C-alpha cells in the first residue's frame, strides 16, 4: 500500500507521510530542501514557529507551482518570542504566505498557558475562525490528553510524539488512549535507531528483513511506523533518500516482522535505560570525588 491519506476525527484527511523542516535552517538552503521534498513527491510539509523557517517553507510551496490545496501544511505554536497563541498564528500565516494552515499544533504541554483547557479553547477559536482547518497537540501524555478532553468542545485530531522501536513500549499507553478517542498519532524521530542509536538490538531484525525484501533498512523502519497506524514525519537533505522514504509506503511487513522489531526495540529500551542510569551514577560519583578533593585541599572536613 502507498502512503494513503488518513481521515481525521473532524472529517479532514491528512497525508500519512510528511517532510519535516526541523534542523533544515533558514535562508536559501531551507527553501531549497523544501522545494526538493515537494519535487520528490511529498505533499505534506511539517514546520513550527520554533524552527524559524516557516518563511522558507512558504516560499518553497509558492514557487513549487502546486496549488494551495495540493500541499498540506502543518505548523505549531511554540510560544516563541513570548508571543501568545493569537499573535503566533497570525505570524505563522504571514510567514507561510497563506490564509490558513491545514493543521495547527500546540508544540508541547508546557506551552499551554495558563493551562491546557484555556489554551485549547483558544485553539478551538482559531479553527472556528478558519485560520486552521484542524487542530491538535504534540508531546502530550495520557494525563495531559485527559485534562484536555475533559473540557474540549473539539477533540484534538492528532498528537505528534517521538515514535520508534526503542520508545514503542513507553509510548504504547499514548497510542492506546489515542486510538480509543479517535486521535491520530504522528511519529517523529522514526529513524532514530539507525541515525543516532546504531548498533542496538533493532539492527539485527532490520538488516534481516531489509535483505529479504531487497530494500534499505530505513525503509523498513518507516514501514514499521506506518504499520502501527501513524503519520510519519521525517526528513533528509538528499533527494534519493526522500524518494526511498516515499517508496517505503509500498512495503508490507508480516506480523512476524513487526513482532521481531517490537521485541528488539523493547530489549534496546532496557539497555538504554541501564546505560543512562550508569552515566548518571558516574556523574554523581565524579561530583562527589571533586567535592571531597576540594574539601581536602581547603582543609574543610565534611560530615
> Mind listing the pLDDT tens digit for each residue in 92-146?
999 999 999 999 999 999 999 999 999 999 999 999 999 999 999 999 999 999 9
Question: 201-236, pLDDT tens digit by residue?
Answer: 999 999 999 999 999 999 999 999 999 999 999 999
Q: Which residue has the cell 518507516?
A: 222
Q: Which residue has the cell 510519519?
A: 232
Up-side HSE of residue 25: CA atoms within 13 Å toward CB?
7
Nearest C-alpha neighbor of 16 from the set 55, 61, 74: 74
Q: In the chain, what percentage of residues exceed pLDDT 70? A: 88
- Is residue 226 within 8 Å of 258, Cβ to Cβ? no
Among 22-31, 40-49, 211-220, the least confident range: 22-31
Task: Please name the residues in contact with 301: beta carbons below 8 A apart, sequence gap of 6 or more.
Answer: 295
- Give pLDDT, residue 274: 57
107 is in an annotated binding site: yes
Q: For residues 61 and 34, what is the distance between their CA atoms, to the nearest angstrom?
A: 8
| Bridge partner list, 6 | 14
CA 132 to chain centre: 19
Question: 0.85 exceeded by the pTM?
Answer: yes
pLDDT > 70? residue 86? yes
Question: 131-188, pLDDT tens digit by residue?
Answer: 999 999 999 999 999 999 999 999 999 999 999 999 999 999 999 999 999 999 999 9
CA 78 to chain centre: 14
Question: 2-17, pLDDT tens digit by residue?
Answer: 899 999 999 999 999 9
Nearest C-alpha neighbor of 236 from the set 23, 87, 85: 23
245 is catalytic: no
- Is residue 130 within 8 Å of 98, Cβ to Cβ? no
Helices (H) and strands (E) in the chain, counts: 11, 10
Q: For residues 149 and 159, what is the distance between their CA atoms, to the nearest angstrom?
A: 13
User: Rounded to 5 degrees, what are φ and ψ at 154?
Assistant: -120, 130
Which of 51, 77, 166, 188 is flagged as catalytic?
51
Nearest C-alpha neighbor of 248 from the set 42, 71, 69, 60: 42
Q: Give the domains, in start order, of the chain with CATH numbers.
A: 5-284 (3.20.20.100)
pLDDT > 60? residue 37? yes
User: Cα dihedral sign for 249, 236, 61, 18?
Assistant: positive
Average pLDDT of every residue of the chain: 91
User: Cα dihedral sign for 249, 60, 84, 20?
Assistant: positive
What are the grid coordinates assigned to 245, written together? 522514504
Length of the chain equals: 303
Amino acid at each position: 500500500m502507498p502512503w494513503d491519506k488518513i481521515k481525521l476525527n473532524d472529517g479532514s484527511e491528512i497525508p500519512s507521510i510528511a517532510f519535516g523542516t526541523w534542523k533544515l535552517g533558514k535562508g536559501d538552503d531551507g527553501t531549497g530542501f523544501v522545494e526538493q521534498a515537494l519535487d520528490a513527491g511529498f505533499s505534506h510539509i511539517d514546520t513550527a514557529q520554533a524552527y524559524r523557517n516557516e518563511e522558507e517553507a512558504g516560499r518553497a510551496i509558492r514557487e513549487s507551482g502546486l496549488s494551495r490545496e495540493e500541499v498540506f501544511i502543518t505548523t505549531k505554536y511554540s510560544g516563541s518570542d513570548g508571543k501568545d497563541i493569537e499573535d503566533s498564528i497570525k505570524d505563522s500565516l504571514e510567514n507561510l504566505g497563506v490564509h490558513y494552515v491545514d493543521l495547527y499544533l500546540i508544540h508541547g504541554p508546557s506551552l499551554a498557558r495558563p493551562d491546557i483547557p484555556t489554551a485549547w479553547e483558544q485553539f478551538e477559536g482559531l479553527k472556528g475562525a478558519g485560520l486552521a482547518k484542524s487542530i491538535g497537540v504534540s508531546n502530550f501524555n495520557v494525563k495531559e490528553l485527559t485534562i484536555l478532553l475533559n473540557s474540549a468542545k473539539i477533540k484534538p485530531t492528532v498528537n505528534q510524539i517521538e515514535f520508534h522501536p526503542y520508545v514503542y513500549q513507553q509510548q504504547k499507553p499514548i497510542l492506546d488512549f489515542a486510538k480509543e478517542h479517535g486521535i491520530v498519532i504522528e511519529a517523529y524521530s522514526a529513524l532514530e535507531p539507525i541515525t543516532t542509536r546504531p548498533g542496538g538490538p533493532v539492527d539485527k531484525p532490520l538488516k534481516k528483513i531489509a535483505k529479504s525484501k531487497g530494500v534499505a533498512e530505513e525503509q523498513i523502519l518507516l514501514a514499521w511506523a506506518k504499520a502501527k497506524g501513524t503519520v510519519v514525519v521525517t526528513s533528509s537533505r538528499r533527494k534519493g533518500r526522500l524518494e526511498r522514504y516515499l517508496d517505503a509506503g509500498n512495503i508490507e511487513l508480516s506480523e512476524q516482522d513487526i513482532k521481531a522489531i517490537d521485541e528488539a526495540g523493547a530489549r534496546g529500551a532496557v539497555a538504554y535505560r541501564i546505560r543512562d542510569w550508569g552515566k548518571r551514577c558516574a556523574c554523581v560519583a565524579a561530583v562527589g570525588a571533586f567535592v571531597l578533593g576540594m574539601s581536602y585541599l581547603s582543609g574543610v572536613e565534611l560530615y
